[in-house]
Structure 1
Amino acid sequence: MILFPAKISSRHREKLREAFPEQKIVFSDNQDETLTYLPEAEIYVTYGNDINETLISKAENLKWIMVLSAGVDELPFQMLEEKGIMVTNVRGIHKVQMAEYAISMLLQVYRNEKVLFQNENDEKWDKSVRINEITGKTIVIAGTGAIGQEVARLAKAFRMKTIGISRSGKKVDYFDENHTNEDLTEVLPQADFLVSVLPSTKETKHFYIDEHFKAMPNHGVFLNMGRGDAVKSETILKAVETGEIAHAVLDVFEEEPLPANHPFWNEANITITPHLSGLSPHYVTRAMEIFTMNLEKYLERKDDFMNKINLSRGY
């Protein structure tokens, strides 16, 4: 049985039933209904925030959890590994919207759009506003997976030099250079832009430290749309306030929602967005395409699943 506590539209429900008429698919509308069907479920489709050890212990026949999001860092990996439960996610479906977000935010900073919008509100005609170009600059992208690669591809349209940072440092398309995480400080003096799309793992928690921002040019821009715990809030604030970098664009934070009294709100050289870089009207359609593809493989007893999570690594 396939249990769907994840909320999807009636259109997606019917499409799934038509594609797999022989499968028992239950679309759960509430927690009580989920718990009723859970012991029977072999496949569990969720957005991930309901997965915990208590739920897994009640899922007696569970073989596969499909998470309709990219973030899986809160899952109880040890218990899942002990029970032999496979986990897949929808890593990669965020690449279009998040790459567009990154380029739009870098343009926003360099075109000084905050000031332009304020001048518009104030009915102020001021042609002295400083405008710059992102074309020909150097961008360092930490995280060279699907999202980072798409950012690099779009950056190439602006004739940027693209430098990728990853755990392995292996060569990836659209990057002029690729380096390991340990090489970050060495390449940062070149970085007009540092874009972070790192996942949340033990290795990436508080990954960015003071020395990284000190190594950047003082006109540099830091953009974080990966995970908020990749850098301490006070580290970013210090880098901006002391002029080590010119601007920070933040879509993710250590604490979300960002508290109303947080100093980020009052810093002119920090742009804040409410963790929306991954939003898209096409999100569920893309997620269901991945699930459908993997379900076909599962039913055919194949093992080449898309986005299979390494439970020992957590990603």
Structure 2
Amino acid sequence: MKLILPDHLIADIEPHLPSGIDVVEVDSEGNLDGDPSDAEVYVNGFYLKTSTHDKVLTAAPALRWQQSPSAGVNHILTPTFLQKDIILTNGAGVHAIPISEFVLAFMLYHAKNLRKLQTLQNEHTWVRGVFLEELADANLLILGTGNIGKAIASRAKAFGVTVWGSRRHPEPLPNFDKIVGADEWRSLLPAADYVVIATPLTPETRGLIDETALRSMRQSAYLINIARGAIVDEAALITALREGWIAGAGLDTVATEPLPPESPLWSLPNAFITPHCSALSPRLRERIAQLFIDNLKRYQTGQPLRNVVDKQAGY
């Protein structure tokens, strides 16, 4: 069997491969070190470009299965890919710990007024009367209750937060006080102190957080996006932050990445911008390799693969 592996993950995956496996290396531009024409399996790299993806798909007509290290696969489900009969599996679960911790960091950053405290330190100013909030008894609405949403709920519960979630098919889940359907979450916005976007980007979720949603939120509410930037109507969000419809936003992802230098988001005092880094962890590559090796064993023995993507649903 032959695999196509990205150059930056080979060192993590290759030592764990079973015998009888041939590897073709591919770089971020889609240049292949070897003959990929009979490769069955493709592990794509981080930050996969459409041009790179199309180049590999053209060079490897025998592909039957593609594993992505990312949970979101909107960038993979291109017309070129959808024309092919390739099973797609994603990295759901491997990012849950670091991203959920990052969400709690955003929440604590807002609740404990860390921007103000850092400013006071920079100004060598001692002020004891800084307003600080508690997370205990706050209401958190998580849009998307997959692996990441569940991990966020677990950690938020430890702080005494009331946790609500939304999903297409509502059902009770541990650490959630309430689960509503995909069309019911808007009714919870007026009571939510924190709203976290943890849902995949699909045609249905594009622009989901629109002007109506932002105007429905409390003026004291804080929006956090660790999913995909296009889920938020960015122009409406900028207006909401400028005019005080909401208290602020923690954004690990934006509509155009890297965020253009001229974007108003850079200079808004109530926006905390991070460079799509919430999933980064020293253990990330280890988890990606473990998931792939387990799926490879399943593939070779005809067992169901983990994290198979529904191409129509988009996740």
Runs of 4+ in 1 over 6 A off after TM superposition: none
1:142 lines up with 2:140 in the alignment: no
Aligned to 1:128: 129
Cα distance change, pair 35–56 in 1 and its aligned pair in 2 (3 A): farther
Letter in 1 for 2:309: I
Over aligned residues, Cα RMSD in angstroms?
1.9
Other-structure match for 1:313: 313
Partner of 1:267 in structure 2?
268
For 1:11 and 1:290, the matched residues in 2 are separated by 12
**Structure 1: distance between partners of 2:22 and 2:192:** 53
- The counterpart of 1:43, out of the listed 41, 44, 59, is 41
> Against the structure 1 CA distance between its residues 31 and 82, is the aligned structure 2 distance closer, same or farther, given a 3 Å change threshold?
closer
Q: CA deviation at 1:54?
A: 4.5
Q: How far apart, in 2, do the equivalents of 1:223 and 1:94 lie?
A: 17
Q: Considering fraction of residues, name the structure with more helix.
A: 1
The answer to whether the 8 Å contact 2:71/2:92 transfers is yes
CA distance in 2, matches of 1:256, 1:129: 34
Counterpart code for 1:75: I
* SS in structure 1 at match of 2:164: strand
Select between 245-254 and 31-40 the one with higher mean Cα deviation.
31-40
Partner of 2:213: 212
How far has the Cα of 1:130 moved from its partner?
1.1
d(CA) in 2 for partners of 1:32, 1:238: 40
Give how far 1:4 is off: 1.0
CA deviation vs aligned residue, 1:74-131 (integer Å, no higher than 9, x gap): 2245544543211111111111011100111111111111111111112111112111
After TM superposition, give the deviation of residue 296 of structure 1 in Å.
Answer: 0.4
Q: Which amino acid aligns with 1:313?
A: A
Residue 142 of structure 2 aligns to which amino acid in structure 1? I
Change (3 A) 1:31 1:214: closer
**Partner residue of 1:24?**
22
How big is the shift at 1:305? Answer: 0.8
The structure-2 alpha-carbon separation of the partners of 1:240 and 1:228, relative to structure 1 and needing over 3 Å to count, comes to same
Partner SS, residue 253 of structure 1: coil
Equivalent position amino acid for 1:172 in 2: L
Gaps of 5+ in 2: none
| Number of matched pairs | 311
Give 2:4's aligned residue. 3
1:25: how far off? 2.6
| Equivalent-residue separation in structure 2 for 1:156 and 1:308 (angstroms) | 29
Identity of aligned residues (%): 28
Asked if the contact 1:52–1:76 (Cα under 8 Å) also holds between the matched residues in 2, the reply is no
Partner of 1:89: 90
Alignment of 1:67-82 (within 5 A): 67-82=68-83
Normalising by structure 1, what TM-score?
0.92
Residue 195 of structure 2 is matched in structure 1 by: 194
Tell me the amino acid that sits aligned with residue 89 of structure 1.
Answer: N
